Structure 1
């Protein structure tokens, strides 16, 4: 790998990540960058566990999602173990799935049948957050070297920071949208019932508590229907 060229491409990728307008777009750019920047990477995806179930985000190819699901079904596999913190460390690399591999006796032959020769993965994390694992798959055995692992580490570091920023931005946008909707609902109740802003907010809050419904959903109902039913 030409490291000068790689550094330039990493700089462009980092800028692209920060320019994405949504979390989904950020994830898609991360996995597409994985196949662009890491030699012999044929597919990439981000594996997360949602209530104990494996979910693949932004797979660059259906193969990535199938392999993640396969690990969940079998209850074993390097990516699955990494996310569950079964495998120590932040990086794993399985050089050759076509040879003898005793750590995942059910997953390895199944992955081999799908045409996978090697794989590696990196936990996505910042100082206080873990997001999942960025996983790389190749049809070729021994495709991923120490050089490609170093490239993956750099990519995962940029990806984790960008993903954290994207998540925070999305949460901020949601909070602003929620506040706006609550304010709109309060205005409707104030005009309809000739009550104060504090009284209107108490009406929304009391309805939310009595009906075990999120305050933003109560506000949306008032905004859309004009009343609480």
Structure 2
């Protein structure tokens, strides 16, 4: 099987795990040249949680970073870019002083962290490790970035599915429900245009933002339609819309 076919098959395998997200590591580990990996949520939107881990070592990697508040995954999410450490023991410990000291006793050679993002929403990270120093190739990096988008979508959908909050913005009256669908649809089209992403992802961005703000999708959609809220990186968002 060619590499493009393997990548497409991995995407299909990930999507097939909807509802069984604890196994998301399996297709990734089968494709990528690493010894272990974990998928976690943390930051301002979702609570710190390891969603999927291939082994105890991967879970330990998440645990250390959550407990210490520093490490590759935090930097990846903050910078919205991969953090690649092909020889973690050669990493200057002044960058992550507590984390660098903590992993001395752990069997890590290389660490890699890729952010989980959907549009402007920063959700978590994929952490990968090898037991010995190792450098990811450019193709591997591109593949992980592609698959991270798939994982981001699934992890956010999982969080929203499990949430007990009313995220659909539907009030008690039939009139309110009818208008909510129309406004959310219009707002979805505007976010699609702002970010250049598929409609399903644009809808998830609105839903995830509503979840993080503790508000309804209808309220957020109204702000988008009124142009009081924009997800485009080159447009200023009104701070008061988040209060």
- Where structure 2 has 5 or more consecutive residues not aligned to the other structure, the ranges are 167-243
* Partner SS, residue 20 of structure 1: coil
1:77 alignment partner in structure 2: 71
Deviations 1:129-160 (A, max 9, x none): 33211111111112423332222112212222
- Where structure 1 has 5 or more consecutive residues not aligned to the other structure, the ranges are 176-229
**Cα offset for 1:13?**
1.8
2:118 is aligned with 1:126? yes
1:95 alignment partner in structure 2: 86
8 A contact 1:120–1:135 mirrored in 2: yes
CA distance in 1, matches of 2:92, 2:137: 18
1:43 alignment partner in structure 2: 36
User: Aligned residue pairs: how many?
Assistant: 165
1:28 alignment partner in structure 2: 23
Flag the 1:127–1:147 CA change in 2: closer, same or farther, 3 A: same
CA distance in 2, matches of 1:167, 1:76: 24
8 A contact 2:82–2:113 mirrored in 1: yes
What does residue range 147-186 of structure 1 map to in structure 2 within 5 Å?
A: 147-166=139-158, 170=161
What is the aligned-residue RMSD (CA, Å)? 3.0
1:227 alignment partner in structure 2: none
TM-score (norm 1): 0.61
8 A contact 2:115–2:125 mirrored in 1: yes
What does residue range 51-66 of structure 1 map to in structure 2 within 5 Å?
A: 54-66=48-60
